Amino acid sequence: MVSAYPQATSSSTPSAASATSYTALAQAAAVAAKEGPTGTDTRHVAFPMTYTWDYAAQRIDLRALYEKSKDLNWNARTLPWDTKVDPEAPNVPDTLNPLFGTPMWDKLEPKRELPNLRRHLASYLFSNFLHGEQGALLATAQIVNCAPTPDAKLYAAAQVFDEARHVEAYDRYLREKIELVYPISPYLKTLLDMILEDARWDFKYLGMQIMVEGVALGAFGMIHQMTDEPLIQQITHQIMQDEARHVAFGVLSLKDTYREMAQNELRDREDFILVSSRLLRDRFLGQEVFERLGLPQKECEEAVERSEAMMLFRRLLFSKIVPNVKRLGLLTPYVRKGFEELGVIEYETWEPTA
């Protein structure tokens, strides 16, 4: 696909681009994907909103994180979008495909069906990264409203801009390079709805900053290491730098929250951690791809469950979640048992994010 975007400028000053070129950028972003979901989905949410009238820094750690975020801003527009991308090439090793080595894989026609499977699996993965980034955009905007300190509000506002940049980057990559966008995984949609509709402020942090962003950080790290496609590698590298701060924001904000919490309230958080963990694990099964391509659904799902590469990938997703849950004092016997059943308790000795 030939890009509709005007050539990026290396200058970051407002005078470097005219009103006409800004309009051209907006017009280029209006070109829809060849295939992809459309429309809107409205949810009715309610949660307490907090004004703060003392603007002096109260949480030095969060204010320092805010200052750091300002210095690390980047512009998705200036990424090397002229990079040629073949979405049907083995941009990650085929041995990591969950169907590799199965009878279904052997039956794929190598010049047409196999390249098409690569394209659809890549689209499915990056589409759900895109939808997850929109979820983070919405959830962090809620944190701006409900956070009790000026430092948390300022950092959350900075993160909202980060999330907008991530949405921009993944959206453009999918529209321009893969030319296919998948709808959101029902597992991910269920989790995002839980986070956004809950009125309790700490669930916003726990659900988004610890769980969703934690899994994303693990997934992005693996993609960055495994792919040899330079554009998505650079996009992932840039986003990973932001995500590490986002997870740190959650850990710092929640670090003393659960110490004296009543047992019945604590059990709500424990249940939420385990339910969200299962939803995040299952969002990578790829059922929608197999159904769309007419592959045998049951056999493909069984192959995913048996795939050693996929089992490793799904376990490594929790390499950030487990130590951070422990850092917050939430690795209770109840949660520990759930993590043991998921096969991820091995990460409890890893370093937390903050």
- The predicted-structure confidence for 149-169, as pLDDT tens digits, reads as follows 999 999 999 999 999 999 999
Determine the pLDDT at residue 308: 87
Mean pLDDT of the chain: 92
Q: 251 in a domain, yes or no?
A: yes
Task: Check which CATH number belongs to the domain holding 172 and give it.
Answer: 1.10.620.20
Q: 293 in a domain, yes or no?
A: yes
Q: How far is CA 241 from CA 130, 159, 197, 338, in A?
A: 17, 12, 28, 30
Q: 17 in a domain, yes or no?
A: no
Instruction: State the pTM of this model.
Output: 0.92
Determine the pLDDT at residue 285: 82
Determine the pLDDT at residue 16: 54
Number of structural domains in the chain: 1
Report the alpha-carbon distance of residue 67 to residue 23 in Å, rounded.
Answer: 31
Residue type, 30: A
Report the alpha-carbon distance of residue 155 to residue 169 in Å, rounded.
Answer: 21
Assigned token pair, 290:
């197999």
Report the alpha-carbon distance of residue 195 to residue 321 in Å, rounded.
Answer: 16
Q: 66 in a domain, yes or no?
A: yes
Range of the domain at 210: 32-349
Q: 177 in a domain, yes or no?
A: yes
Q: 148 in a domain, yes or no?
A: yes
Determine the pLDDT at residue 332: 97
3-state secondary structure of 211: helix
Maximum average pLDDT range among 212-221, 254-263, 290-299, 328-337: 328-337
Q: What does 288-319 look like in DSSP terms, one character per residue?
A: HHHHHTT--HHHHHHHHHH-HHHHHHHHHGGG
Contact 85, 229 (CB under 8 A): yes
Report the alpha-carbon distance of residue 212 to residue 215 in Å, rounded.
Answer: 5
Average of per-residue pLDDT across 323-341: 96
Average of per-residue pLDDT across 187-201: 95
Q: What does 38-54 look like in DSSP terms, one character per residue?
A: -S---------------
Q: In terms of pLDDT, which residue wins out, 32 or 328?
A: 328
Q: 80 in a domain, yes or no?
A: yes
Q: 204 in a domain, yes or no?
A: yes
Q: pLDDT confidence of 2, banded at 50, 70, 90?
A: low
Q: Which of 83-97, 106-120, 239-253, 308-322 has the weakest average pLDDT? A: 308-322
- Of 174, 104, 78, 87, whose CA–CA distance to 133 is shortest? 174
